[in-house]
Amino acid sequence: MNNFQLKVFSGRANVSLAEKIAQYLGDPLGKLTLLNFPDGEFWCRIDDDVRGRDVFVVQSTCHPVNENIMELLIILDSLKRASASRITVVLPYYGYARQDRKAEGRVPITAKLVADLLTSAGAQRVLTLDLHAAQIQGFFNIPVDHLYASPVILKHVRRLNLDPRDLVVLSPDEGSVKRSLRYQKKLNVNMAIVDKRRVSAEKVEPANLIGASLEGKVALIFDDMISTAGTVVSAAHTARTLGKAKAVYIFATHGVLCGEAIPRLRDAPIERVVITDTIPLTPEKQLANIDVLTVAELLADAIKRIHFNQSVSELFV
């Protein structure tokens, strides 16, 4: 009997996002039991019949990264042994993505290692959002659908009702120019770049502003993630002091927010910080100037298209 019906399951990393996705799809999350043994090992049981089903597993491999990855691998193995017809991993946030090349000798390419682990555990397809490096798609030997959160973020930018004549997209460093150009073209505004100088392995100092004038303008900074917030906060200070910008807004897909990120963002000369819910925002990280957008509808649409073998490329904005 053909039972190729869609079913969404979730690990424990980001249950709230998974529930929103399931709500958009009109079907409750699949039932599974996840336990921690006293020695720290994980255990999983799939409580729904998945034989012949088209299964999607939502799990952001965010902090605690190693635990969430291991939990995901165990869920995948459970689904594979329960005879699911196809297993798609939905990775709103891909952990280890920044270790995507050998920058020096005798170091791992951990982004590739994680891709191999997911495939070996049973993943037959991957759906992810704003990879730190697009070439990570090539680390997989299975189909990868790489979405961007830009439609969700751009919709929010337009809701702010800022005068387009006052807007300048500001790339926080040279490595973010390509991403900033995508937003600049969509918004049809001017663009500037912060030229940074690395003082040491830990310290970077802004040296110059290149491009459009920021004086009296509203600077919009777009990034794929905010980790320690050093880069975006430094760019915000540069925009306000060197560029004489009247306001700064920061937008990022993934709010990793580790290290000194929260105090830096709290004290930075910025109007708003806008992130998405690819990573849960824990209570201690919630600031008055942080807004969280949901990517649930975007991911739900992609899941539906994959299930019905429809084109996903329309979502690659």
Number of Cα atoms under 13 Å in the Cβ half of residue 40: 4
Which option is the CATH number for 150-293: 3.40.50.2000, 3.40.50.2020, 1.25.40.80, 1.10.3720.10? Answer: 3.40.50.2020
Q: CATH code for 6-148+296-315? A: 3.40.50.2020
Cβ neighbourhood burial of 237 (10 Å; 0-12, 13-18, 19+): middle
Domains 6-148+296-315 and 150-293 share a fold: yes
Number of Cα atoms under 13 Å in the Cβ half of residue 75: 30
For every one of its 317 residues, what pLDDT tens digit does the chain have, with 9 covering 90 and above? 467 999 999 999 999 999 999 999 999 999 999 999 999 999 999 999 999 999 999 999 999 999 999 999 999 999 999 999 999 999 999 999 999 999 899 999 999 999 999 999 999 999 999 999 989 999 999 999 999 999 999 999 999 999 999 999 999 988 899 999 999 999 999 999 998 765 554 455 656 899 999 999 999 999 999 999 999 999 999 999 999 999 999 999 999 999 999 999 999 999 999 999 999 999 999 999 999 999 999 999 999 999 999 999 888 76
Tell me the domain boundaries of the chain: 6-148+296-315, 150-293
d(CA 149, CA 179): 12
- By annotation, the residues acting in catalysis are 196
